[in-house]
Structure formats: structure tokens, C-alpha cells
Structure 1
Amino acid sequence: MHRLTGFVLFCGIIYAGITAILYAQQTRLIYPSPDIVSPLPDGFEEVFLQTADGLELRSFYRRAGAGQPTVVYFHGNGGTLYGSVVATEQVAALGYGLLLVEYRGYGGNAGTPCEQGFYADGRAALAFLTGQDIAKGQIIVMGNSIGTGTAVQLATEISPKALVLSAPFTSLPDAASEVLWWLPVRPLIRDTYDNASKIGQITAPTLIVHGSNDTLIPYQHGEALAEAGPAAEFILFDAEGHDLIFTPAVQAAQAAWLAAL
């Protein structure tokens, strides 16, 4: 009996230790923040977004063709500006403008990633576009994975032309608790990105794409958001995983949907 009690106590200590480590390191786990400074691609200019808390965020901008809208794109948590260029190739082919946002703490930018910080980065992107005389009704907000949290938040603050989400989650605690089901994730996680509570406020045309083989954020998250969004359409791509945004067929579907608006 004493051995059993000791074993249970030992397991409890290990469990508490793992929980404490994950709590303390959650920023690093949620935001891998690659320190890769992507080279400037042809057709883009380097711009620096000014945040309300005094940061300058190196990002890429390409002006829209005459009469075309501009896409502001927020990449996933392990992404880079180079990846953003690849993820928006077919949107660029439509002649749309592109503002590819690099977050605080990513790609050589100063600052520490966090939910409210990402929202501030997104607002800095919108302020930049306003400075380019681009009306909010001519802005398409796009987000991939964790970038959907910023995209959804911004779409509640302005009335964009459209919102496009790839591999989104209902909330970060929802997604994390499915992966770390054996840990008390919900009371411990600081950043929530509660997309599910916000999507109902968005009346702009919304496209949600998800892969049936997404093992990081199951497609049911995207499906649930589409059901809650008053103007949302959901497309499930069979056999695609979490990185479906880089798939030509997915990009083609997004471009076709946008062109039909």
C-alpha cells in the first residue's frame, strides 16, 4: 500500500512538473517565431508597419492593379514572409494588392508574440493601408492557422470586402485541449483567440477552407465556424492536411471564390 501511495505521489509530482513547465513555456510553444529574414521578392516593396506600442514590423507590400482590392495576409505560427508569398501566389495572379504581414518577434522584428500583440500588428497593417488611400471595403482579410485569430478579430473591427480563413480553430484552448487532452489546458492558457464567439458578428462574405486530414486542427473547427458565421461558406478538401494553403487546388478555389464576389 505504501509503495502504491508513493508511486501515485511520484506520478502526481511529475504531472505537476510537466504542467508547470508547459505553462511557463507556453509562449515559446505557441509561437515558434522563426528568426528567418526573408529576402524581398520581385514585385514587392519592403514596408515597416508602425504599431501603437512603438514597434516597426518589416513586411512586404505589392500595390493592387487598377480597381482591384488588396489582401492583407496573416501567416501561421511557424510561418515566414517567404511562405506568405507562396501562399498567396494565385491571389497575386488576379492583380490584387498584397500586404504580407510579419508579426512582432518573427523574421527579425522586435517584440514578443502574444494575442493582443498580434491584434496590434493587424491594426498597424490596416493603418498602413489607410495611409495608401485604400478603403476598408476594398480590403480582403486572409489568415492561415493561428493567423485566423488576427484575421477574425480585424473583421469584427472593420467591414472588409471579404474574409478568408484557412485551417482555422474555434479557439486556441479548444485546439490545445484536443492535443493535450491529459493536461488542464483551458485554465492555464493565456491567449485564447476565441474565433467562435466572434464569427457571428461578421457579415462580410467569408470563405473557410480546411483539410480532411488536418491532424493539428481537425476540420470540425472550420465546419463549426462556418455554421456560426452568417455569411460563411465552408469547403472541405479531401486528403489535405494542415498546410493546405500551399496547395495549388486550394489556392485556385480561393481565387475563384474571390473573383466571383
Structure 2
Amino acid sequence: MCLLGLCALLVSTAATAGPVSSRVYEPVSLADTQVEFRGEPPQAITVQTADGLTLAGAYWPPDEGVDQIVVVFQGNSYNHLVMAVRAEPLRVGGRGVLLASYRGFGDNPGEPSEAGLYRDAEAWIAQARTLQPDARLYLFGFSLGGAVALEMAARHDVTAVATMGAFTSLKDAAPALLRPFVTEQYDNLETITRVNEPILLLHGTKDETIDPRMAERLEKAGGANVTRVNLTGGGHWVPLDSLAEKIWQQWEAAEAENPAVAGKAP
């Protein structure tokens, strides 16, 4: 699959090209989604956005005595149930996992946009705080979701953030011919400079969708609080089965080294 559906525009006529934004998002309805979880399936959960949309997500509460919860932001395609299957390994150790969803994805109302996805993410962050007021809050974002996770980390006081397959900006991720038509920013190269929490950048060395060199640029822009992990031989998505425990260990190690930047929201 070509990232963000942008390469499809290479065969479009000039009359149908238009802004690329409409091709950025590739949601799949829940009716067309078949998923199977290894353990107990997550709970269904909803949030209401500031502009009045009700969005459906999924939630695994933390085990009793566990004070860690990660909010997971999906990429540009499929829906939150597909991401839930992918993110299930993050439950390791009884941690809580909250699967955010976006407007226009699955069976959610609305039309996705950069501003809209940020509104959606704000609602999910607030929901996480409501569900577990005293928990340490972490963010994980895949591909386009990495941009959402970084923006939320820049706006909110969270414990740590991780991305997989993040790009420097949406325009950079598009084929050169199409960059003049890209109207939305998702400028991770700028956003990452505003994040004070520990950042874990995961990137497959054989990522066919996002050039691994973008991770190098993000690491440089993010400075000392960034840890980049090259996933040797990995593509755009690398299964979390063998990575989840290491992600949590990295987050906790960073938190122990610099607890001042790994606080909780007031």
C-alpha cells in the first residue's frame, strides 16, 4: 500500500487532482473489519469532541495496582479495531491501553483533517485522565498517528511518547511531484522541538513507505530527550510482540533518568 494514498494521484488527471488532503485518509468501516484478539477483547468506549462528534474507541483498563496507561494513535488507514490488534502487546505487565479513533474512521461521524484529528486526540487524552486520574500517561503513534502523538505530547504533560514509522512532514512523505498540492502540514520536524518528554523513535531499516533517514532528521531536531531505535530489517509496521516490553523498559529508564520532565497533568 502506498503511504496516504498519494501515489494514486500520479495517475489522476489534472481535473481530478485537486488538494491532496482528500486522499490522505483511508478509513475502513467496522463492518468490513475482521479482527481476533489473543486475550480478552477490549472494552468499547466513546468520547465526545469539542465540536460535538461522538467517537468510538477501545480500552483495556490497567490491572489493579498498575498506574500506567498508553493512548495509541493509529495511522492513516483501517480503523481503531485493527490498531487494537496491533497494539495488544502493549498490555504487557497489566498496563492499560486506550485505542483512540478519528472522525470519519470506522463508523465515526465527520470528515478527517489535521485540525480534526487533533481535536479527536484532545478528547481521548481527556478521557484517559478521567478513566485513570492518577496514572502515568504515555502516548504511542504509528505513521500518521506519530504526528498526532507528538502534537499531543507538545500540548500536554505526559510521561513519555513513542512513534513508529514517523515522517518529518506530510509534504516530505509525498512524492515530489505532488508536494505542491499537499495542504495539510503534520510537521513533525517542528513539533518535536516543542516536546519536553522522553521520545522514543522506532523505525524499520527497510521501511518502504517512510525513508528511515527521516527518523535521523527527527532525532536531530528533537535533541537530547530523543532515543532512536533502528528496527533492523523491519518495514513500515513492525509487530510489537517482541518490542512491547522493550518500549516500556525504555520509557521507564528515561523517566528514572529525568523524572522532572516525566510528570503528570495537574
Which TM-score band applies after superposition, normalised by the shorter structure?
Answer: 0.7 to 0.9
Using the TM superposition, give the Cα deviation of residue 163 of structure 1 relative to its aligned residue in structure 2, in angstroms. 0.5
Checking the alignment, whether the CA contact within 8 Å between 2:205 and 2:232 is kept in structure 1 is: yes
Change (3 A) 1:129 1:252: closer
Name the residue aligned to 1:21.
16
Q: 1:133, 1:213 → 2: CA distance? A: 37
Name the residue aligned to 2:72.
73
Higher relative contact order (CA 8 A, sep 6+): 2
Q: Paired residue for 2:26, among 14, 32, 39?
A: 32
Checking the alignment, whether the CA contact within 8 Å between 2:54 and 2:108 is kept in structure 1 is: yes
The answer for unaligned runs of 5 or more in structure 1 is 1-14
The answer for unaligned runs of 5 or more in structure 2 is 1-9, 256-266
Q: Paired residue for 1:188, among 181, 186, 189?
A: 181
Name the residue aligned to 1:162.
160
Change (3 A) 1:236 1:149: same
Name the residue aligned to 1:126.
125
Tell me the secondary structure at the aligned position of residue 141 of structure 2: strand
Q: 1:200, 1:18 → 2: CA distance? A: 38
Q: 1:20, 1:162 → 2: CA distance? A: 45
Q: Does 1:88 align with 2:87?
A: yes
Checking the alignment, whether the CA contact within 8 Å between 2:42 and 2:60 is kept in structure 1 is: yes
Using the TM superposition, give the Cα deviation of residue 50 of structure 1 relative to its aligned residue in structure 2, in angstroms. 0.6
Change (3 A) 1:21 1:252: farther
The structure number with the bigger radius of gyration is 1
Name the residue aligned to 1:7.
none
Q: Paired residue for 1:151, among 149, 152, 158?
A: 149
Change (3 A) 1:151 1:19: farther
Q: 2:216, 2:242 → 1: CA distance? A: 19
- Deviation digits for residues 73-98 of structure 1 (CA, Å, limit 9, x no counterpart): 00111132232223223320121111
Checking the alignment, whether the CA contact within 8 Å between 2:89 and 2:240 is kept in structure 1 is: no
Q: Paired residue for 1:241, among 231, 235, 259?
A: 235
Name the residue aligned to 1:223.
216
Range that drifts further, 123-132 or 53-62: 123-132
Q: 2:82, 2:243 → 1: CA distance? A: 15
Identity of aligned residues (%): 28
Q: TM-score, normalised by structure 1?
A: 0.84
Checking the alignment, whether the CA contact within 8 Å between 2:30 and 2:106 is kept in structure 1 is: yes
Using the TM superposition, give the Cα deviation of residue 40 of structure 1 relative to its aligned residue in structure 2, in angstroms. 9.4
Q: 1:131, 1:259 → 2: CA distance? A: 23
Give runs of aligned pairs for residues 200-219 of structure 1, distance below 5 A.
Answer: 200-219=193-212
Q: Paired residue for 1:55, among 32, 53, 56?
A: 53
Checking the alignment, whether the CA contact within 8 Å between 1:49 and 1:128 is kept in structure 2 is: yes
Q: TM-score, normalised by structure 2?
A: 0.82
Q: What CA RMSD, in Å, does the superposition of the two structures yield over aligned residues?
A: 2.3
- Deviation digits for residues 132-185 of structure 1 (CA, Å, limit 9, x no counterpart): 2425x7110110000011111101111210000000001000111xxx22x251
Checking the alignment, whether the CA contact within 8 Å between 1:40 and 1:60 is kept in structure 2 is: no
Change (3 A) 1:236 1:20: farther
- Deviation digits for residues 81-139 of structure 1 (CA, Å, limit 9, x no counterpart): 2322232233201211111011111111111111001000000001112222425x711
